[in-house]
Structure 1
Amino acid sequence: MPTTAGVDRFAGFQESPSRKYISKKVAYGHLSAICRSISQVVVEDRVVSCSLVQEPDSTTGSQNLEASHAIDGYVKPVTSTVPSPNSPEEEWEGIVDIAVNCEWMLPESDDEPVLRNGYAIQSRLDAVSAALHEMNNDPRRTHMYSVTIEDEAMCLWYWSRSHSAKSEAVDITKDVRSTIRGLVSFLFASTPELGYDETVQRRFDPALGGYCHIFCVGDSYFKVLRSIAEHVGPCTIAGPSTRVFEVVNVPSFDNITATTESVASPMVLKDVWLDIEAKPEKQIQNTIFGRLQDVAHRLQDGQDLPQLTGLDDAGKELLRNALRDETYRDYFLTIDCDTQGVQSKSLAPGTWREDDVFTFWDSSFWDSSSDRSRSLYVTPPPHRARSFSTWRSFVAKRQYRVVFKEVCQALHRLLFLAGWVHRDISSGNLLWNPNSKRGILSDLEYAKEFNAEGTGSSDPKTGTPAFMASEIISQRLILFSNPDLSSEDQMDAVLKPIIHNFQHDLESFFWLLLWILTTRISTRTPDLVSYTNRLFLVDGLSNLWPGRVTPFRERTIGSEVEDLLPDDMKVFADRIHILNQALCDASIKKHLDFGNVASYVHLYGAVREALNFCVEKSDLVKLAARKGEAVTKILKRKRMDST
């Protein structure tokens, strides 16, 4: 409706909603009428693709029957993305047509600013939580949008695998043009613009008795049989960046009947988001194969390699056999096909980083003389601004899909020969192929050529947090704690960058071995559960340091474990102590010989001896039939690749 000043206003929002309404359902119900009016207008030859559904505190379903999320409204595609026939029994169908989730918020009283009482912060957290919920449960989502309205202040949000973004607040009672522009961008958007990936389709499969996803990889199509990932992707604001499925090859999106040959030979599809400059796994694998072939030729010519220094004849013969006739290929997953997909949005021009988006400002920072409307847009005092040096950089990510021929069970020396570090040794990346009876190394997207010079900036905290090496977690060299070092060497240690080396991969294997022996057994006592929670439960890296780093550096883990393990498994404690001591001793000396590949050889021998010992005593290990709740939480966050 026009005002006397000639400025348009919405009939339902002539003033701040909190001055007129006490129910957010009534207050923001006017948005539905506004959206219906917008939908009757043709915008740039586009047709209406979405509508706004107002359901305050409605609950969405989930693949996880224990998880749900209440939202106040959502933008829904006019034509459902759920294929016919619809299945009302499906628990998580509710999330697939939530294109944009919405959160509305009214202040409790007329004399309290919206942000002062903190509920606006909760509304924002609800918005990101709902987006995370939806992206986790729907593999078609490349990104997600949200709308929040805090009294009269409307903000649009973008969530992706690389970063999130928030618009400046728009006053819906005054800035009609910007409000309509925001709503139009959703109501007339295509499904790819809203974050739906057209190379992943959802179909009803009579053979499975429910819905399934079909992935397009290059010119091939793969039907998902089940999820086989043991953990989810790096710690990002909007969901996992790695998904792993058991799949079979099918003719097309609309012909999902697998051939007899495909059913007999299921494969593995990995859907991952990589930093834009990262190399795809197939390219990394080919590079490593080329290095190993060169090593094989040098051995054949009788050259002496530093990687073999100190190895006994049996160890050397083991490696020669692995290199002979390109046998090393059998220790890696066989790639059937791969493809690079869409890229996440880059940071828009004119954007800036803002502090306190999800935290509550102290009321002393507010201008008490300003009215409620002004307080919504108050700028935080300068001394509240965060130093730009503490911000992590946002790197655009690209989707990458790769299909492997083998379906393995989760269980490194070849990478050492090739001069590469894996940087993510974990339970999901050391695999066992039951057909070939051979261990296989997977997930090479974080692998990197070893920086023998040890120069440049420190490597980021890359890896599975539960198995991350102590120096990577703490970003401090263990040698710094050596009291025998001279003050000059100690100062040198403080200034040295943290470069991921072969020893860090071996330490990750140490943590993996300890994790199996202490968390996957059926005879866990409450004291052992409490101890392993302190070592492995991941709720931010602060929980792992110093709770785990300190006993590792002090070499006390073996004795601690011995007191907690069941009597018939105490024999493993001494082996844990020996490996703990070998890794720490090597770390203290490492600054003297960091780039010398031969200096790492004896550690591989120590790890192999520990592994052989565990294999010999494996009949003592009674693995739990299934993972308990605490063990599942250990790997609830996969990789950390931020500073």
Structure 2
Amino acid sequence: MTRISTPPPGVPVTPDTLPQPKQTSLAGYHSGDLALGRTAVPNGLGAIPQVPLEYFKSAALPPLRKQIDIGKIKTSLEGAEAWSRHSGWTAIKEPKLSGVSEEETLEPLSKVFDAVVCEAAKDLHTPATLRFVSRPTQSPHSDLPDSSLPDAYLLLLEKKSVDIPGAKKNSAKNSDHDSWYDIAVSFEFKKSDGTAERKYVIWGLHHIMRSDPCRRAAFGVTIENTEMRFWFTCRAVTLVSKSFNFFSEPEHLIHFFCALVFAENHELGWDPTIRRVCVEDETQYIITVETEDGRTIEYQTTKVISDFGVDGVSGRGTRIFKVHLRSRDGKLDAEPVVLKDSWRESDRDREDKILEQIFDDLRKLGTEVEQEARQYFLTVVEAGDVTVHGMIDGTTSLLHGSDLPADCASYALSVDGILKAKPTRSSEGLAQSLPSVPGATKHSKIQHRIHFRLVFKEVCTPIHELQHLGTAFQTLQDVLKGLLTLQLLHSVGWVHRDVSTGNALRAGEVGKLADLEYAKRMNSKASNEVCTGTLDFMACEVEAQKYLFEPPKVLSVADFFKDNKDKDKFPYKFNPLHDMESLWWIATWILYRHVDKVGHQQSEAQRKWFDELFPGRFNARFSAFSADVDYEVLPTSFQPAAFTVVSAMRQALKIAYIASENSMPPAYTDALAELQRVFTSHLADGVKHSKHVELHTPGVKRSYQEDPMFESRDNKHLKVRSFLRSLPKC
């Protein structure tokens, strides 16, 4: 096997980016408590760009129709006594002086909306697409549980939602039930001056983007007495405009209404390449994939496999569906496939392109090596970037090619309450991904994203859903055995950088490694602003962003300064040992998370060790890795495998790190080769010791059986969707 070349001395190394946790991966957000969710979302954003009104109008809003003259409309409204330059909007009293409730004070905003639209329509032949609705005591319908009550919203006249039998109806007289899936703009009002409404409007934006696969962007408005702000979010950024007095400066509100009301649906943030349908009383989606050779193919969903990726307001927004090919006459192909819908950073290659680069590198080792390798990766059936109205769908087009203005300030989203930084321990035993985002920085550039779709042949089972310990270890063993996935990546100089339970899959009798979007060549000098990691399975050095196993040195003063210069020359860099450590964390997580009998709970000691090893916060990985782990707290049937996997494999990792970091940059080639041999041997022992050992999530009853050793897609029931639908997502 070809070995990896350690970067030679003297070659500058680009350090990787320090990751930080997303608040929407923490327990408070997933508790179902609306107040905690409304705290988590703005806390996760931290601070967002506050942009001038003119920038917001040109970048975030749809362009005005040519016939619309804002100055003329303002003059006409003044002539019709709808607005006065002395007292503002005649239909609305200054909120904090009105003497009535917020609902009564701001309900007449609908009259302002109607007056503006009526004047604008006089010179247009384009019908309005939105209407103003104010039902502040009623919660719009959503497939996800959500009891939030927006004060008002702009609603599509031709709705995108579908009627689902049994869905909650709106109690307003003579009205159909409103749906979040038809809301283009959500409004939040407050009579007094202040900032309390920001978390409510952000929650509304967040709920639209997390719950609706048909949305690419969303808008919001906050009103605090006479001050108004506009809001916009997409997968790359959330923006807020500077405030203005909508009584004395009506032109901004007139522009806002006119830009949106006469816009096409795709300009309002909807995706024309995916549509919602009702199938057997359930919501499903028909999704179009456009390939690079110009073919358009339709797939219809039958299940949501995963949508944890939409929990963040911005980011990849990954959704994974089980789908069937749909013919022109609406018939579905019998064989299921998997469709991935996601938004990659614009400076990254699409995942299928990365796969081909890996295979090209493997081909240099021989065609047999390449063919052997292909069975350990997912098979891409179709791939392509999404196009909307002839343009690549990305945040660049949503923002009309604009970057942030040079004088862009940050708008702090301070909210009450701080969430405890600990991932959810779900009742289904899912490994909660804790994606990472860059720390707070000055807002000077938008990291734009491109919308893409991939279709994979294999319908796999993530390792965290396997139901026998032997099968789980065998899956990890497959990842290492011979020229399997990670070894093949490393042998041609690649690292994965996000090995987790969601990316270690089983298809029939073969282990596969998925989600290669963040894989890169070791000699790559590219550095991205955004990096990712799953905290429970992140290597210690990845979390710390420094090397932790260098031998202690006794240095003179001169040597001390020379040593520090060497560290500057060779900063921390991800290497293959970090991927290997992630495998150890997965194996350890499986053992300490589960029990071996239906309905049983973890012992207090096992639960304590699980929380010690996986505390769900940063700056805790190295101490957890270094601790003498007690495997005797595990169920008796787990212990033989645990001794081999938890204790022996961890010791081998330590030895590999120490050996590789005897020199800088780390010389990991020989250490990695030995570590791969040790891991393969110990995982084989783990399989041998746990062939008939079952895996059960504490307290959860299993309603079906599976093969003791090998699971196939034909008999594996995907149970994640029912759990996901019970959680709030963004």
Aligned to 2:361: 291
Q: Secondary structure at the match of 1:192?
A: helix
Residue 223, structure 1, aligned to residue 223, structure 2: no
2:156–2:182: 8 Å Cα contact kept in structure 1?
A: yes
SS at match of 1:156: strand
- Tell me the residue number matched to 2:413: 358
Task: Quote the Cα distance in structure 2 between the aligned partners of 1:509 and 1:5.
Answer: 68
Aligned to 1:413: 487
Deviation at 1:509, TM superposition (A): 1.1
- Residue 532 of structure 1: aligned partner: 610
| Paired position in structure 1 for 2:475 | none
Matched, 1:249 2:321: no
Relative to structure 1, is the Cα distance of residues 234 and 140 closer, same or farther in structure 2, using a 3 angstrom cutoff? closer
1:343 and 2:394 are equivalent in the alignment: yes
Partner of 2:711: none
Deviation string, structure 1 residues 136-170 (Cα, Å, up to 9, x no partner): 11111111111111111111111111111111112
1:545 aligned to which of 619, 635, 638: 619
Contact 1:270 1:402 in 2 (8 A): yes
User: For the residues of structure 1 that align with 2:698 and 2:636, how far apart are their CA atoms?
Assistant: 22
* Pair 1:489–1:355, CA change in 2 (3 A): same
Match of 1:300 in 2: none
Report whether the alignment pairs 1:58 with 2:127. Answer: no
1:351 deviates by 5.9
Which TM-score applies when normalising by structure 1? 0.77
Q: CA deviation at 1:201?
A: 0.7
More moved, 73-82 vs 234-243: 234-243
Paired position in structure 2 for 1:462 = 532
Aligned pair in 2 of structure 1 residues 294, 456: CA closer, same or farther (>3 Å)? closer
2-side partners of 1:484 and 1:133: how far apart? 53
What CA distance in whole angstroms lies between the structure 2 residues aligned with 1:213 and 1:94?
A: 16
Q: Which residue of 2 aligns with 1:111?
A: none
What letter corresponds to residue 95 of structure 1 in structure 2? W
Q: Tell me the residue number matched to 2:282.
A: 210
How far did 1:21 drift?
3.6
Q: Give the structure 2 partner of residue 97 of structure 1.
A: 182
Q: Distance in 2 between matches of 1:325 and 1:477?
A: 33
Distance 1:626 1:433, change over 3 A: farther
- Residue matched to 1:73: 152
Which of 276, 300, 304 is the matching residue for 2:346? 276
Partner residue of 1:267?
337
Render the CA deviation track for 1:580-609: whole Å, top value 9, x for unaligned.
233233333434253664442112223222
What's the CA shift for 1:186? 2.2
Q: 1:279 to 1:126 in 2, by over 3 A?
A: same
Residues 69 and 606 (structure 1), Cα distance of their counterparts in 2 relative to 1, 3 Å cut: farther
Partner deviation per Cα, 1:591-629 (whole Å, 9 max, x = no partner): 425366444211222322232122112246431268979
Structure 1 segment 48-447 matched on structure 2, within 5 A:
48-65=128-145, 67-83=146-162, 87-89=165-167, 94-107=179-192, 114-115=193-194, 120=195, 122-205=196-279, 208-218=280-290, 219-229=296-306, 232-233=308-309, 236-238=312-314, 241-252=317-328, 255-258=329-332, 262-263=333-334, 265-296=335-366, 323-324=368-369, 326-341=371-386, 342-344=393-395, 345=399, 347-350=402-405, 352-359=407-414, 394-411=446-463, 412-434=486-508, 437-447=509-519
Aligned partners of 2:606 and 2:633 also within 8 Å: yes
Aligned with 1:443: secondary structure? coil
Conservation of the 8 A alpha-carbon contact between 2:210 and 2:311? no
Deviations 1:395-431 (Å, cap 9, x if unpaired)?
1000110001111111322212232111111112111
- 2 CA distance for matches of 1:124 and 1:351? 24
Matched, 1:577 2:662: no
Q: Percent identity?
A: 24
Q: For 2:566 and 2:365, locate their aligned partners in 1 and report how far apart those are by CA, in whole Å.
A: 34
Compared CA separation, residues 621 and 388, structure 1 to 2 (3 A): closer
Distance 1:627 1:189 in 2: 51
SS at match of 1:586: helix
Question: Cα distance, 1:182 vs. partner?
Answer: 1.4
Distance of 1:496 and 1:628 partners within structure 2: 48
Change in Cα spacing, 1:239 to 1:285, as seen in structure 2 (3 Å) is closer
CA–CA distance in structure 1, aligned partners of residues 133 and 406 of structure 2: 30
Report the Cα distance in structure 2 between the residues aligned to 1:12 and 1:638, rounded to whole angstroms.
38
- Structure 1 residue 388: deviation in Å? 8.8
CA distance in 2, matches of 1:391, 1:37: 37
Q: Secondary structure at the residue paired with 1:500?
A: coil
The secondary structure found in structure 2 opposite 1:622 is coil
Relative to 1, partners in 2 of residues 1:500 and 1:628: Cα closer, same or farther, differing over 3 Å? farther
1:389 to 1:324, Cα distance in 2 relative to 1, 3 A: closer
1:560 is aligned to 629
Q: In the TM superposition, what is the alpha-carbon distance from 1:32 to its structure 2 partner?
A: 0.7
Structure 1 residue 515: deviation in Å?
1.2
Q: CA 1:22–1:560 in structure 2 vs 1: closer, same or farther (change >3 Å)?
A: farther
CA distance 1:613–1:339, change in 2 (3 Å)? same
- Kept in 2: contact 1:136–1:240 (CA 8 A): no
Q: How many residues align?
A: 549
**Structure 1 residues 334 and 275, CA gap change in structure 2 (3 angstroms):** same
Aligned with residue 27 of structure 1, among 91, 105, 122: 105
Task: Give a deviation string over 1:241-264, Cα, whole Å, max 9, x none.
Answer: 111110000124xx4331xxx22x
**Which ranges in structure 2 are unaligned for 5 or more consecutive residues?**
1-77, 170-176, 291-295, 387-392, 417-438, 464-485, 702-719
Whole-angstrom distance in 2 between the partners of 1:338 and 1:19 = 58
Q: In structure 2, do the counterparts of structure 1 residues 21 and 189 end up closer, same or farther at CA, with 3 Å as the change threshold?
A: farther
Q: Please identify, of 93-102 and 424-433, the stretch whose mean Cα deviation from structure 2 is larger.
A: 93-102
1 CA distance for matches of 2:582 and 2:699?
21
Number of the residue aligned with 2:482: none
- For residues 256 and 351 of structure 1, the distance between their equivalents in structure 2, rounded to whole angstroms, comes to 50
Offset from partner CA, 1:168-221 (integer Å, 9 cap, x none) = 11211211111211122222222111111000011222xx33331010001110
Distance 1:456 1:615 in 2: 39
Q: Map Cα deviations across residues 499-556 of structure 1 (whole Å, 9 max, x no partner).
A: 2211111111111111111113355224433442454364xxxx1322x32221xx21
Structure 1's unaligned 5+ residue stretches are 108-113, 298-322, 362-386
Task: Tell me how far apart the structure 2 counterparts of residues 325 and 237 of structure 1 sit (CA, whole Å).
Answer: 39
Q: Relative to 1, partners in 2 of residues 1:273 and 1:628: Cα closer, same or farther, differing over 3 Å?
A: farther
Distance 1:393 1:564, change over 3 A: farther
Letter in 2 for 1:220: I
SS at match of 1:560: coil
